[in-house]
Chains A and B, each alone.
Chain A
Amino acid sequence: MILPVSSNKNNNMSVFGKDPKDKKLMYDKDTLLENTFNTRMRANYDKFTNALTIYLTKGLKGSKNANFYEFLTMGMIPYVVGSITLMSVFNSANKHFSHFAGAKASAVGRKMALGVLFYGILKSVTKSFVTTPVKWLTGVDTELPYAKVNYELPEYPSDSDITNIENHKVFESKDFPRWDLLYNKDVNKRNEYYDKVAKKLGLGDNLNDSDQEVKPLIKKIAIKTDMAKILSSYLWAAAGVCYAFQDPWLNYLNAATLKIWKPKEFIHSLKVFKRSAVDSAKSFFKGSGKGLQKHSGKIMLGVAAASSIIGVINAVVNIKNQKNDVIDKNRKSVVN
C-alpha cells in the first residue's frame, strides 16, 4: 500500500482521538484479530457509534473519503431506528384512545414491540447456529475478524487525521478473501493456518502447498456457510416474532418493569418473565385449534431449525470434490 506523505509523521495516531500526543495507534497495518466475544462486541460498538457519528457526518458532508464500507455500516441506523419507530407506531397513540380500545391496542402493540426486539436478538444470535458448527467441523472460522487500517485523502491542506480503522472479516468478500492475513509471519510456519485446515478437512499432514490446496475449499465453505447463515438467521428472526405473539407474554408485559431501584417489583417481573417465556414457548409449539392453525408454530420452528442444520451439512459435506485446480500440481512450473 502506498502511504500518503503526511501519514509518515502521524504513525502513532489513533483513529479515536484528536490530540496526537495522547493517541496510540491501535493497529499500524491490517491486523488479524481473535474471534472472541470481546472483539465482536468492540467491533459492533465501534461500527454502531461510528455509523451514528463519524460516517453520518462524513456522508452528509459528501466527503470524498466516504466509502462503501461506511455506507454499509450506516445500514445499522435504519435497523435500530426502524425498530424503535415500528414499536412506536403500534404503541404511541394508544394512550390517547378510550380505555377499552387503548387496552386492546396496547395488548397488540406491546406484543409487536416484543416481536421487533426478538427479531433483532434472534437474527444476531442465530448466526452462530451455523458458523460455530462449521468452525468445529472444518476449522474454518468464516467470521474471523481483522482490523483494516484505512488511509484517506486529506480533507483540507493541514488535515493530518487521515487514518481510520475499519472492522472487517477475512472472508466477508468471497471474491477477494484476505488470504494474506492467514499466513504466519514466521517463515517456517508460514502455512500453519492452512495446514490446520487441511488436516481438519482430511487432506493430510505436511502438504507441500497446503494453502493452494485448501483456499478453494475454504472459499466454498465460506460461501455455503454465509448462505445458510443469512437464510436461517432470517427464519429464526421470523420465529422470534411469532414467539412474541403468544398470549402468555401479556402476563409479563403487564408486569414488566425496568425499575431496578424497586427490587420487589423488578424481581417479580423477572419471575413473570420466566413463566411467560416458558408458557409462550409451549403455546407456540403446541398451538391451538386444528390443522395448520395448530401446527404452524411447529412448522415455523422446524423450518428454522432445518435451515440451520441443512445449512451446516451442506457447508461441510462433499467439500473435497472440487475440480477447479488452475495449475496441474504434478507438473513443474516456473514463476517469474
Chain B
Amino acid sequence: MGNNLINSYLNNLSQQDSGGYVLSNRTFIKPLPPKGHLVHKNFLELPAETVKDLSYDARSFKKALKGKANDHELGKINDIAMKIGGLAIAGYLMTKKQPPSEKVMELVGFASFFGAMSLWPKLALQLPAKLIHGINIRQEYVDSYGRQKMFFQDPQYIPWDLVSDKKINQIGDRMRVPKDLPNRREFIQEKMKKTAIQNNTMWMLTAGFATPIMSALVCNACEKPVKKFVGDYRSKQADKLITDFPKIFPKYMDNTNFRNLENVYKLNKDKPLTPELVKQIKKIITYGFDGITSSAVNSDLDELFGSKKYIIDDSVLDKTLSTVESVMHKTGIKNIFLDKNTLKNILKDNIDKELSEQEADKMLRLVCAKIKQNILQFNSVHPDESINDYQIKMLFSKLVKDDSLPAVLKSNSANLLTPAVMKKLKSVCAILTDFKAKNNVLDKFIYMKAAAAPESVIANTWNEITSSFPELFGINLKAGQYSRFDRKMTGKLIRERFEAISSDNTKYKQVIQALIDKISGLDAKMKMLDTSSASKESYVSIVDSVFDEAALKLDNLDMKETAKSLIGVYEGNVKNVKSSKGSLKNIQLSYVSNRLLGIRSSLYRLLNSLDFYKRISTLKNIQALDNLPREVKEEIVELCKKITVEGTTADFATKFFDLRNPNPNLSDLSQIEVKDGKVINKYLNKTKDLVDLPNDKNFFKNVMRLMYENDLHPETVNLLSNSVITNEVKQYRKDFIEDVGNAFYFAKPYHIVGNSTTEATLYTKFLRVGMPPDQMLNTTFKEMYHTKKWLKMFGGFGAVLLGVTVFSQFLFGKMKAPERSKND
C-alpha cells in the first residue's frame, strides 16, 4: 500500500519548526507517481496466481476480522463466503445416506457450479470479444495499492493511463477506426468502453441461465466417469477386505459386550442368578446378533447356567402375599384369603430349601389350591357376598397365566454367578465377539460387491453391460427409445435385430464374441465371490474357516445349539456336518451364489437366445423339430422366438400358453423355410379358431429341447471354446432343463422334458430364467431416453444461449466516427 500523504505531511510538520514556513511549503506536495499496471496472465503462471489469490483472501479475512479491511478486501470475503456456503451444502449432502458416487457428485456439483460461473464469461464473452474486437473485456489491472481489479469494472473510472498509445492504436486498427481520425485515442477508448459495458451487461443477462445449465451439463458428463472411478475404487477396497482379512477384522472388534459383561459381574458376583440377571446377561452376550444366533445362544446359556433351583425365603413369602393382594384388588375381591401363617403352613418344610423347577411349580399349585379352598369356604359362609365363578376365573388367570405368582415364587434363584460360571460366559462372549467382527467384514464385503443396492460392484457391472447392448445389437436408438413405452414393442425390435444378426455370420461372430467378453469380464470382477473358487483368499474359503472355527470353539464349550445354528446339524465332531440347510453359513454363501446366478442366467440366456436364432437361421442343430409336421415346427419355432426374448418365469412355470391349430396338417413333414433369419411360414396363423392344447405334452418338451437341449451352433461353440465360460454355459443349459424343464405344474403334470419332475424352489426357478431380454433393454431404453431428453432440452437451450451471446458481439461497440469539420 502507498504512503498516506496526510500522515507523511503531518509527520514532517511535527519534525520541523512551527511557523508560516511549513504552511508555505505545502505547494510542493504532489501525488506520488502511480504504480498501477495491467495484469497479463498466462497458463504457466496460474498456480502461482492461485496461491497469490488465496494468500490475499486469507489476508483480507484476517484484516476484516480486525475491522481493518477495505472495500476490495471485503469484496473478497463475499467470494470466499459464497464458496464456503456451497461447500457446506455439498459437505452436508455427502454425509447423507446415498450411493458413494452420489457423494462424490455433490463435490462435482459444487465445483462445476463455481467453475461454470467463472468459465461462462470467459468462454462466451471474453474470447469472442477478443477474437472479434481485439479487446480483452476482462482485462485486469493492479492499482497503486496492490489491489487487483477488472479494468472495465467501473465505466466511470477506467485507468486508461495504464494502456499505451501503441496498444490502443492496435485495438483501434482491429476495430477499423480510421487512422487519420482526430483524437483517435479518445474515440477508440469510447468504443472499447462501450463494448465492455455491453459485454458486462450481457454477462449479467446470461449468467443466470448459463451457470446452472453449464453446471448440470458438466455433472451429466462427469456422472459416468465418476461412477466408474468410484466403482473400481470400491471394488478394490472390497477385494482388500478379503485379501487382508487377518489384518482387517481386528479393526472391527467391538468389545462393548465384553465390557458390559464384566460390569454386570462386578455388581453381581456370587449373587443369585435371578431371571432378571439371566435375561440381562443373555441380552449383553447376544447384543447385535441376528435372531437365529441369539435364540441358539440363549438356549445354550440356559444349559450353561445349570438346572434351575429356587429358594423360598421370608422375603419371597412377603412378595407372594403382596402380589396376591394386588391381584385380588384388581379383580375386585376385597378379602385376601391368605396370610403369612397360612402360607408357611402350606409350604412347611420347603421354606429356605433348594427347590427344583418341578418342586417350585408344586408350591405354586399348593398356594393356588389354598386360595381357592378359602374362597369356596367364604362363599358357603357368606352367600350374600359370594365371589362368583367369573371373578374366580379372572383371579387365577391373573395370578398364574399372567405369570405374576410364578415369577414371585421363582424370584429367588439358588444358582449363583460364580467365577466358574463367569469364566465360561467370558469365553463364550470372546468367541462371539471375534466371530461378529469377522462376520461384519464378510458382510461389508458382500454389501460392496454383490448387494441388491445401488452401486454395488455387481449392480455397476450389470448397468455397464446392459447399457452397451443397444449399440452391440445395432438397435436404432430412436426406434429403441420410442419402444420404451411397451415391452412388446421392445421385444419386436429385439427379435428383428436378432434375426438380422443371426443371418449375418460376421456380425453374429462379432456380437457373440463381445457378449462372451462381457460375461467373462463380469466373472473376473466377481472372482473373489465365486463359490467354486478353492483359493485360500477367496470369500468362500474365508467364510468356511470363520464359521467352522467359531463352531468348533463353541462346541468345545458345550454351546452346541449355537454351533449348529452357524454350520448346520452335525454329529459328534463339527466337521461331520449332516445338513447345512438353514445354517448361517449356508445363508452367507447362498446369498452370493443366488445373486450371481440371477445375473449370470440373464446373460447366458441372452447368449442362448442369440444361438437359437442362429440355429434357426442356418437350420442347424434343431433336432427337436425332426419328424414333426411343418405346421407344428412353425408353431414351435415361433413360440421359441417369443419365449427367448420375452418369456418370464410364469411362462415357463405354466408350460407356455400358446394358441395353436388343433388340427394341423400332418402330411407335410418338410423343413421350415428361412430367409434372412426370418421363418417364411407356410401354415402358421393361416387357420382360425386357434386354441391352447394342454394335452399335447410333447409340445412343451420339444420347445424346451429346441431352446436348451439341442447342441449349440458350431459357430457359438467355436467362439466359446476360446473363453473361460464354456463349461458354465453348458451347465446353465443343463440346469435349466433340470430345474425349469422338469418342474411340476398341476394343470399340465406331464409337461416335462425328462422322465421325472424335480423340486427346485420357486426362487431357484426365478433365478434360472433370469431377466428377459425385452425387459432388460426396455429399462435401458427408458434410461437412455431420459438422459437424451434432458440433454436435448437443456443442452439445446445452452447451445442457443451460447450462440446468441457470441453473435451479440457483432452488434456491440457500434459507434459512429465523428464527422470531420470542413477545416480538417
Contact = CB atoms under 8 A, between A and B. Distances in A.
A60 B67 contact: no
Interface in B165-224: 190, 193-195, 197-198, 200-202, 204-205, 207-209, 211-213, 216
B10 interface: yes
A18 interface: no
Contact of B204 (A59, A64, A245): A59
A278 interface: no
Given A59-B197, A77-B205, A174-B71, A227 B95 contact: no
A297 B92 CA distance: 7
Interface residues of B, number: 62
B97 A223 contact: no
Contact of B7 (A66, A82, A241, A326): A326
Interface residues of A, number: 68
A245 B90 CA distance: 12
A237 B786 CA distance: 31
B399 to A, nearest CB: 44
Interface string B773-813: 00000000011001001100110000000000000000011
A91 B789 CA distance: 12
B212 A89 contact: yes
A40 B153 CA distance: 26
B654 to A, nearest CB: 27
Given A85-B213, A174-B71, A238 B789 contact: no
Interface stretch (B77-85, B404-412, B570-578, B668-676): B77-85
Nearest to A304: B88
A63 B85 contact: no
Given A68-B153, A85-B209, A97-B789, A59 B81 contact: no
B86 interface: yes
Nearest to B155: A66
B64 A223 contact: yes
Given A63-B197, A82-B212, A326-B10, A238 B67 contact: no
Interface stretch (A191-199, A207-215, A250-258, A286-294): A286-294
Given A67-B156, A74-B204, A220 B92 contact: no
Nearest to A284: B92
Nearest to A97: B786
A235 B85 contact: yes
B65 interface: yes
Contacts of B197: 59, 62-63, 66
Given A66-B197, A174-B71, A231-B77, A224 B65 contact: yes
Contact of B211 (A78, A245, A319): A78
Contacts of A89: 212-213, 216, 794
Interface in A50-66: 55-56, 58-64, 66
A219 B67 contact: yes
B395 to A, nearest CB: 46
B447 to A, nearest CB: 15
B208 A77 contact: yes
A125 interface: no
A98 B487 CA distance: 13
B212 A101 contact: no
A264 interface: no
Interface in A286-336: 288-289, 292-293, 296-297, 300, 303, 314-315, 319, 326-327, 336
Nearest to A303: B88
B103 to A, nearest CB: 11
B199 to A, nearest CB: 9
Contacts of B641: none
A262 interface: no
Given A93-B789, A98-B782, A174-B74, A242 B156 contact: no
A230 interface: yes
A234 B84 contact: yes
A22 interface: no
A272 to B, nearest CB: 23
B201 A74 contact: yes
B23 interface: yes
A143 B198 CA distance: 31
A71 B153 contact: yes
B212 A242 contact: no
B185 to A, nearest CB: 16
A175 B155 contact: no
B88 A235 contact: yes
A288 B789 contact: no
B32 interface: no
B68 interface: yes
B69 interface: yes
Contacts of A245: 92-93, 96
Contact of B84 (A55, A86, A231, A242): A231
B204 A71 contact: yes
Contacts of A67: 154-156
13 contacts: A60-B205, A64-B190, A67-B154, A71-B154, A82-B211, A85-B212, A97-B786, A227-B64, A237-B85, A242-B92, A296-B91, A314-B65, A315-B67
Interface of A: 55-56, 58-64, 66-68, 71, 74-75, 77-86, 89, 92-93, 96-98, 101, 105, 173-175, 219-221, 223-224, 226-227, 230-231, 233-235, 237-239, 241-242, 245, 288-289, 292-293, 296-297, 300, 303, 314-315, 319, 326-327, 336
